[in-house]
A = this chain, B = another copy of it.
Amino acid sequence: MARRRDPTALTEAALSGDRGAMARLISMVEEGGDPAREVGGAMFPRAGKAYTIGITGAPGAGKSTLTDRLIGRIRKEGDSVGVLAVDPTSPFSGGALLGDRVRMQDHATDHDVFIRSMATRGHLGGLALATREAIRVLDACGLPWVLVETVGVGQVEIEVAGASDTTVVVLTPGTGDSVQASKAGLLEVADLFVINKADRPGTQELERDLEFMLHLSDRDDWQPPIVRTVAAAGEGTDDVWSAILEHRRYLERDGHLVERRKQRLRQEVAEIVARRLELRAADACRGEAFERLLADVTGHQLDPYAAAADIVDALAG
Protein backbone atom coordinates (compact mmCIF):
# COMPACT_ATOMS: atom_id res chain seq x y z
CA MET A 1 0.00 0.00 0.00
CA ALA A 2 1.19 3.47 -0.88
CA ARG A 3 2.53 5.83 1.79
CA ARG A 4 -0.33 7.89 3.15
CA ARG A 5 0.68 11.34 1.92
CA ASP A 6 3.26 10.78 -0.80
CA PRO A 7 1.62 12.09 -4.01
CA THR A 8 3.88 10.16 -6.37
CA ALA A 9 3.36 6.81 -4.69
CA LEU A 10 -0.36 7.47 -4.27
CA THR A 11 -0.66 8.43 -7.93
CA GLU A 12 1.04 5.24 -9.04
CA ALA A 13 -1.19 3.16 -6.79
CA ALA A 14 -4.37 4.98 -7.92
CA LEU A 15 -3.47 4.63 -11.59
CA SER A 16 -3.09 0.90 -11.11
CA GLY A 17 -6.58 0.68 -9.63
CA ASP A 18 -6.12 1.14 -5.86
CA ARG A 19 -9.41 2.72 -4.76
CA GLY A 20 -8.07 3.77 -1.37
CA ALA A 21 -5.28 5.70 -3.08
CA MET A 22 -7.85 7.41 -5.33
CA ALA A 23 -9.86 8.47 -2.31
CA ARG A 24 -6.76 9.92 -0.65
CA LEU A 25 -5.78 11.81 -3.81
CA ILE A 26 -9.24 13.40 -3.87
CA SER A 27 -8.87 14.40 -0.21
CA MET A 28 -5.56 16.03 -1.04
CA VAL A 29 -7.14 17.90 -3.94
CA GLU A 30 -9.92 19.12 -1.63
CA GLU A 31 -7.50 20.34 0.99
CA GLY A 32 -5.57 22.46 -1.48
CA GLY A 33 -2.03 23.77 -1.16
CA ASP A 34 1.13 22.40 -2.73
CA PRO A 35 0.23 18.67 -2.49
CA ALA A 36 -3.03 19.42 -4.34
CA ARG A 37 -1.04 21.15 -7.09
CA GLU A 38 1.26 18.16 -7.35
CA VAL A 39 -1.66 15.75 -7.66
CA GLY A 40 -3.39 18.03 -10.18
CA GLY A 41 -0.22 18.28 -12.26
CA ALA A 42 0.13 14.49 -12.33
CA MET A 43 -3.52 13.84 -13.21
CA PHE A 44 -4.15 16.48 -15.86
CA PRO A 45 -2.03 15.01 -18.72
CA ARG A 46 -3.81 11.68 -18.20
CA ALA A 47 -7.31 13.16 -18.03
CA GLY A 48 -9.75 14.18 -20.78
CA LYS A 49 -11.23 10.82 -21.69
CA ALA A 50 -14.04 10.44 -19.14
CA TYR A 51 -17.53 11.63 -20.01
CA THR A 52 -19.08 13.69 -17.18
CA ILE A 53 -22.77 13.90 -16.33
CA GLY A 54 -24.03 16.53 -13.88
CA ILE A 55 -27.25 15.87 -11.96
CA THR A 56 -28.90 18.80 -10.23
CA GLY A 57 -32.32 19.86 -8.93
CA ALA A 58 -34.05 20.90 -5.72
CA PRO A 59 -33.65 18.78 -2.56
CA GLY A 60 -36.16 15.94 -2.54
CA ALA A 61 -36.42 15.75 -6.32
CA GLY A 62 -34.98 12.25 -6.27
CA LYS A 63 -31.51 12.99 -7.61
CA SER A 64 -29.80 10.31 -5.50
CA THR A 65 -32.30 7.66 -6.59
CA LEU A 66 -31.84 8.61 -10.23
CA THR A 67 -28.06 8.61 -9.79
CA ASP A 68 -28.36 5.17 -8.27
CA ARG A 69 -30.38 3.95 -11.28
CA LEU A 70 -27.87 5.42 -13.72
CA ILE A 71 -25.02 3.68 -11.90
CA GLY A 72 -26.92 0.42 -12.41
CA ARG A 73 -27.48 1.23 -16.11
CA ILE A 74 -23.78 1.99 -16.66
CA ARG A 75 -22.75 -1.22 -14.88
CA LYS A 76 -25.13 -3.16 -17.14
CA GLU A 77 -23.04 -1.89 -20.08
CA GLY A 78 -20.01 -3.37 -18.30
CA ASP A 79 -18.44 0.06 -17.72
CA SER A 80 -17.04 1.32 -14.43
CA VAL A 81 -18.23 4.65 -13.03
CA GLY A 82 -17.15 7.36 -10.58
CA VAL A 83 -19.71 9.34 -8.58
CA LEU A 84 -19.07 12.64 -6.81
CA ALA A 85 -21.80 13.88 -4.45
CA VAL A 86 -21.22 17.60 -3.95
CA ASP A 87 -22.62 19.40 -0.92
CA PRO A 88 -21.57 23.06 -0.53
CA THR A 89 -23.50 23.30 2.74
CA SER A 90 -21.61 20.51 4.48
CA PRO A 91 -18.22 20.84 6.10
CA PHE A 92 -17.82 17.07 5.80
CA SER A 93 -16.65 14.97 2.90
CA GLY A 94 -15.33 11.50 2.27
CA GLY A 95 -16.19 9.82 5.49
CA ALA A 96 -19.72 11.20 5.73
CA LEU A 97 -20.64 9.20 2.68
CA LEU A 98 -21.48 5.78 3.98
CA GLY A 99 -23.89 7.02 6.61
CA ASP A 100 -25.60 9.56 4.36
CA ARG A 101 -26.21 7.83 1.16
CA VAL A 102 -27.89 4.59 2.07
CA ARG A 103 -29.47 4.04 -1.30
CA MET A 104 -26.11 3.74 -2.98
CA GLN A 105 -25.18 0.89 -0.66
CA ASP A 106 -26.08 -1.59 -3.40
CA HIS A 107 -22.93 -0.52 -5.16
CA ALA A 108 -20.75 -0.11 -2.08
CA THR A 109 -19.00 -3.40 -2.55
CA ASP A 110 -18.70 -3.11 -6.35
CA HIS A 111 -15.06 -2.35 -7.21
CA ASP A 112 -16.15 -0.75 -10.48
CA VAL A 113 -18.27 1.88 -8.74
CA PHE A 114 -16.33 4.60 -6.93
CA ILE A 115 -18.54 6.89 -4.81
CA ARG A 116 -17.23 9.93 -2.97
CA SER A 117 -18.82 12.99 -1.38
CA MET A 118 -17.23 16.43 -1.70
CA ALA A 119 -17.71 19.27 0.76
CA THR A 120 -16.20 22.63 1.57
CA ARG A 121 -12.51 22.39 2.32
CA GLY A 122 -9.41 24.51 1.89
CA HIS A 123 -9.13 24.39 -1.88
CA LEU A 124 -8.34 27.76 -3.50
CA GLY A 125 -11.54 28.90 -5.13
CA GLY A 126 -13.68 26.52 -3.17
CA LEU A 127 -15.79 23.58 -4.10
CA ALA A 128 -16.39 24.30 -7.78
CA LEU A 129 -12.69 24.28 -8.64
CA ALA A 130 -11.97 21.37 -6.28
CA THR A 131 -14.68 19.26 -7.92
CA ARG A 132 -13.09 19.73 -11.34
CA GLU A 133 -9.82 18.46 -9.89
CA ALA A 134 -11.55 15.48 -8.29
CA ILE A 135 -13.16 14.62 -11.64
CA ARG A 136 -9.67 14.63 -13.16
CA VAL A 137 -8.45 12.11 -10.59
CA LEU A 138 -11.28 9.72 -11.53
CA ASP A 139 -10.76 10.45 -15.22
CA ALA A 140 -6.99 9.86 -15.10
CA CYS A 141 -7.55 6.61 -13.21
CA GLY A 142 -9.47 5.29 -16.18
CA LEU A 143 -13.14 5.58 -15.15
CA PRO A 144 -15.00 6.23 -18.42
CA TRP A 145 -18.04 7.82 -16.75
CA VAL A 146 -18.21 10.36 -13.93
CA LEU A 147 -21.53 11.35 -12.38
CA VAL A 148 -21.58 14.59 -10.39
CA GLU A 149 -24.63 14.93 -8.17
CA THR A 150 -25.34 18.14 -6.21
CA VAL A 151 -27.63 18.47 -3.18
CA GLY A 152 -29.58 21.56 -4.21
CA VAL A 153 -29.79 24.44 -6.66
CA GLY A 154 -27.53 27.05 -5.09
CA GLN A 155 -25.04 29.02 -7.13
CA VAL A 156 -22.12 26.71 -6.46
CA GLU A 157 -24.18 23.64 -7.25
CA ILE A 158 -25.37 25.00 -10.59
CA GLU A 159 -21.81 26.01 -11.38
CA VAL A 160 -20.63 22.49 -10.54
CA ALA A 161 -23.38 20.64 -12.38
CA GLY A 162 -23.29 23.02 -15.34
CA ALA A 163 -19.60 22.26 -15.84
CA SER A 164 -20.39 18.74 -17.10
CA ASP A 165 -20.56 17.34 -20.60
CA THR A 166 -24.26 16.58 -20.09
CA THR A 167 -26.23 18.37 -17.39
CA VAL A 168 -29.41 16.67 -16.18
CA VAL A 169 -31.92 18.82 -14.27
CA VAL A 170 -34.36 16.82 -12.13
CA LEU A 171 -37.77 18.35 -11.34
CA THR A 172 -40.89 17.05 -9.64
CA PRO A 173 -44.55 17.87 -10.37
CA GLY A 174 -46.71 19.94 -8.04
CA THR A 175 -43.85 21.80 -6.35
CA GLY A 176 -43.60 24.94 -8.46
CA ASP A 177 -40.29 23.55 -9.65
CA SER A 178 -40.52 25.02 -13.14
CA VAL A 179 -40.64 28.60 -11.87
CA GLN A 180 -37.87 27.96 -9.35
CA ALA A 181 -35.76 26.26 -12.01
CA SER A 182 -36.14 29.30 -14.20
CA LYS A 183 -35.21 31.68 -11.38
CA ALA A 184 -32.23 29.59 -10.33
CA GLY A 185 -30.80 29.68 -13.84
CA LEU A 186 -31.30 25.95 -14.38
CA LEU A 187 -32.87 26.41 -17.80
CA GLU A 188 -29.60 27.77 -19.15
CA VAL A 189 -27.46 24.84 -17.95
CA ALA A 190 -29.87 21.98 -18.67
CA ASP A 191 -29.15 19.61 -21.55
CA LEU A 192 -31.88 17.27 -20.43
CA PHE A 193 -34.85 17.60 -18.06
CA VAL A 194 -36.09 14.70 -15.99
CA ILE A 195 -39.56 14.93 -14.49
CA ASN A 196 -39.22 12.48 -11.65
CA LYS A 197 -42.16 11.14 -9.61
CA ALA A 198 -44.08 11.44 -12.88
CA ASP A 199 -46.87 9.29 -11.45
CA ARG A 200 -47.98 12.29 -9.40
CA PRO A 201 -50.56 14.94 -10.34
CA GLY A 202 -49.18 18.01 -12.08
CA THR A 203 -46.81 16.14 -14.39
CA GLN A 204 -48.59 17.32 -17.54
CA GLU A 205 -48.59 20.95 -16.32
CA LEU A 206 -44.91 20.84 -15.41
CA GLU A 207 -44.04 19.45 -18.83
CA ARG A 208 -46.11 22.13 -20.55
CA ASP A 209 -44.49 24.89 -18.46
CA LEU A 210 -41.04 23.60 -19.28
CA GLU A 211 -41.81 23.40 -22.99
CA PHE A 212 -43.12 26.94 -22.91
CA MET A 213 -40.05 28.28 -21.11
CA LEU A 214 -37.71 26.39 -23.41
CA HIS A 215 -39.57 27.86 -26.35
CA LEU A 216 -39.04 31.36 -24.91
CA SER A 217 -35.38 30.82 -24.15
CA ASP A 218 -34.71 30.12 -27.83
CA ARG A 219 -31.68 27.86 -27.57
CA ASP A 220 -29.55 27.76 -30.65
CA ASP A 221 -29.03 24.16 -31.56
CA TRP A 222 -29.71 21.43 -29.04
CA GLN A 223 -33.29 21.28 -27.74
CA PRO A 224 -33.21 19.74 -24.23
CA PRO A 225 -35.57 16.75 -24.19
CA ILE A 226 -37.95 16.20 -21.27
CA VAL A 227 -38.00 12.65 -19.90
CA ARG A 228 -40.49 11.28 -17.36
CA THR A 229 -39.32 8.88 -14.66
CA VAL A 230 -40.42 7.21 -11.46
CA ALA A 231 -36.88 6.58 -10.28
CA ALA A 232 -37.95 4.85 -7.05
CA ALA A 233 -39.68 2.18 -9.18
CA GLY A 234 -36.93 2.11 -11.79
CA GLU A 235 -39.28 3.48 -14.46
CA GLY A 236 -37.79 5.63 -17.20
CA THR A 237 -34.12 4.97 -16.48
CA ASP A 238 -33.55 3.60 -19.98
CA ASP A 239 -35.14 6.71 -21.47
CA VAL A 240 -32.86 8.98 -19.44
CA TRP A 241 -29.87 6.93 -20.47
CA SER A 242 -30.89 7.07 -24.16
CA ALA A 243 -31.32 10.83 -23.93
CA ILE A 244 -27.86 11.19 -22.36
CA LEU A 245 -26.32 9.08 -25.12
CA GLU A 246 -28.17 11.10 -27.74
CA HIS A 247 -26.83 14.34 -26.26
CA ARG A 248 -23.35 12.83 -26.22
CA ARG A 249 -23.65 11.89 -29.90
CA TYR A 250 -24.82 15.43 -30.65
CA LEU A 251 -21.81 16.90 -28.81
CA GLU A 252 -19.39 14.56 -30.53
CA ARG A 253 -20.64 15.61 -33.96
CA ASP A 254 -19.15 18.80 -35.45
CA GLY A 255 -16.70 19.38 -32.60
CA HIS A 256 -19.27 20.61 -30.05
CA LEU A 257 -17.71 18.60 -27.22
CA VAL A 258 -14.20 19.86 -27.92
CA GLU A 259 -15.48 23.44 -28.02
CA ARG A 260 -17.52 23.01 -24.84
CA ARG A 261 -14.58 21.60 -22.94
CA LYS A 262 -12.33 24.36 -24.25
CA GLN A 263 -14.74 27.02 -22.98
CA ARG A 264 -14.83 25.29 -19.61
CA LEU A 265 -11.05 25.27 -19.37
CA ARG A 266 -10.92 28.92 -20.46
CA GLN A 267 -13.29 29.82 -17.65
CA GLU A 268 -11.41 27.70 -15.16
CA VAL A 269 -8.05 29.34 -15.92
CA ALA A 270 -9.64 32.81 -15.66
CA GLU A 271 -11.17 31.85 -12.33
CA ILE A 272 -7.88 30.58 -10.92
CA VAL A 273 -6.12 33.76 -12.07
CA ALA A 274 -8.77 35.88 -10.35
CA ARG A 275 -8.45 33.87 -7.12
CA ARG A 276 -4.66 34.10 -7.08
CA LEU A 277 -4.79 37.86 -7.64
CA GLU A 278 -7.32 38.15 -4.81
CA LEU A 279 -4.83 36.47 -2.50
CA ARG A 280 -2.11 38.82 -3.69
CA ALA A 281 -4.37 41.82 -3.08
CA ALA A 282 -5.06 40.65 0.46
CA ASP A 283 -1.34 40.16 1.03
CA ALA A 284 -0.55 43.60 -0.33
CA CYS A 285 -3.03 45.22 2.06
CA ARG A 286 -1.17 44.35 5.23
CA GLY A 287 2.33 44.83 6.50
CA GLU A 288 4.54 47.81 7.20
CA ALA A 289 4.64 49.34 3.72
CA PHE A 290 0.85 49.32 3.60
CA GLU A 291 0.58 50.94 7.03
CA ARG A 292 2.92 53.75 5.93
CA LEU A 293 0.78 54.35 2.84
CA LEU A 294 -2.36 54.23 4.95
CA ALA A 295 -0.94 56.88 7.30
CA ASP A 296 -0.67 59.24 4.32
CA VAL A 297 -4.26 58.43 3.40
CA THR A 298 -5.64 59.02 6.89
CA GLY A 299 -3.66 62.28 6.93
CA HIS A 300 -5.52 63.23 3.72
CA GLN A 301 -2.23 63.74 1.88
CA LEU A 302 -2.82 60.80 -0.49
CA ASP A 303 -6.24 59.83 -1.79
CA PRO A 304 -7.38 56.17 -1.61
CA TYR A 305 -7.29 55.69 -5.38
CA ALA A 306 -3.73 57.00 -5.64
CA ALA A 307 -2.72 54.72 -2.74
CA ALA A 308 -4.40 51.74 -4.42
CA ALA A 309 -2.67 52.56 -7.71
CA ASP A 310 0.70 52.62 -5.91
CA ILE A 311 0.00 49.18 -4.41
CA VAL A 312 -1.17 47.69 -7.70
CA ASP A 313 1.79 49.13 -9.58
CA ALA A 314 4.22 47.74 -7.04
CA LEU A 315 2.46 44.39 -7.32
CA ALA A 316 1.88 44.21 -11.04
CA GLY A 317 4.32 46.50 -12.82
Contact = CB atoms under 8 A, between A and B. Distances in A.
B44 A276 contact: no
Interface in A257-280: 258, 261-262, 265-266, 268-270, 272-274, 276-278, 280
A317 to B, nearest CB: 6
Contact of A272 (B44, B274, B305): B305
Interface SS, A side: helix
Interface stretch (A20-28, A183-191, A208-216, A294-302): A294-302
Interface residues of A, number: 44
A96 interface: no
Nearest to A136: B303
A234 interface: no
A122 interface: no
B269 A300 contact: no
Interface of A: 37, 40-41, 44-45, 47-48, 258, 261-262, 265-266, 268-270, 272-274, 276-278, 280-282, 284-285, 293-294, 297-298, 300-301, 303-309, 311-312, 315-317
The 4 A-B residue pairs whose C-beta atoms are closest, nearest first, are A44-B303, A272-B308, A316-B316, A270-B285
